[in-house]
Amino acid sequence: MFDELYVLRDKESDQLEVYDVITYRLQHCLTLPSIRGLADVTSCERYRCLYIGDHIVECILRLNAEGAVTRWVVNDKPEGLSVNATHNVLVTCGRVRKIKEFSSHGDLLRELTLPDDVINPLHGIQTRNGEFIVCHGFIGDAVHRVCKISADGRDIIKSHGGQPGSDIDQYYCPRHLAVDNNDFVFVADVVNRRVTLLSPTLDYIRQVVSPERLKGEPDSLYLDIRRRRLYVTIGGHVVVFIV
Q: Write out pLDDT tens, residues 104-132.
A: 999 999 999 999 999 999 999 999 999 99
For the sheet containing 144-149, what is the strand order?
Answer: 121-126, 132-136, 144-149, 156-162
SS3 label, residue 211: helix
Q: How many CB atoms lie within 10 A of CB 53?
A: 26
Q: How many CB atoms lie within 10 A of CB 24?
A: 10
Task: Give the type of residue at 107.
Answer: D
State pLDDT tens for residues 46-66.
999 999 999 999 999 999 988
Give the domains, in start order, of the chain with CATH numbers. Answer: 1-113 (2.120.10.30), 118-217 (2.120.10.30)
Which range (5-19, 161-175, 229-243) has the least confidence?
5-19
Q: What is the pTM of this model?
A: 0.94
pLDDT attached to residue 148 = 98
State pLDDT tens for residues 134-179.
999 999 999 999 999 999 999 999 999 999 999 999 999 999 999 9
How many angstroms separate the CA atoms of 121 and 114, rounded? 9
Q: Is the pLDDT of residue 14 over 60?
A: no
- How high is the mean pLDDT of the chain? 93
**H helix or E strand, kind and range, residue 119:** none
How many angstroms separate the CA atoms of 23 and 174, rounded? 30
**Taking the mean position of all CA atoms in its chain, how far away is CA 222?**
8
**3-state SS of 87-128?**
CCEEEEECCCCEEEEECCCCCEEEEEECCCCCCCEEEEEECC
